[in-house]
Structure 1
Amino acid sequence: MPNIKSAVKRVKTIEKRRALNASQKSALRTAVKTADTALAGTEVETAQAAFQAASKKLDKAVTKGLIHKNAAARKKSRLAKKLNALKAEA
Structure 2
Amino acid sequence: MANIKSAKKRIKVIEVKTARNRMAKSAVKTAIRRFNEALTAGNMEEAKAKFSFAEKKIMQAASKGIFHKNMASRKVAQLAKQLNAAK
CA distance in 1, matches of 2:42, 2:58: 24
- Residue 62 of structure 1, CA deviation: 0.5
- Residue 26 of structure 1, CA deviation: 1.0
Match of 1:68 in 2: 68
Match of 1:28 in 2: 28
Secondary structure of the structure 1 residue equivalent to 2:24: helix
TM-score, normalised via structure 2 length: 0.91
Secondary structure of the structure 1 residue equivalent to 2:38: helix
Secondary structure of the structure 2 residue equivalent to 1:66: coil
Question: 1:4-83 counterparts in 2 under 5 A?
Answer: 4-83=4-83
Amino acid paired to 1:34: R
Q: Does 1:84 align with 2:81?
A: no
Secondary structure of the structure 1 residue equivalent to 2:3: coil
Q: What percentage of aligned pairs have identical amino acids?
A: 49
Answer 1 or 2: higher relative contact order, Cα 8 Å, separation at least 6. 1
- Residue 41 of structure 1, CA deviation: 2.4
CA distance in 2, matches of 1:57, 1:19: 17
- Cα deviations by residue, 1:39-86 (Å, 9 ceiling, x for unpaired): 222111100010001000010011011111121111111111121122
TM-score, normalised via structure 1 length: 0.88
Runs of 4+ off more than 4 Å:
none
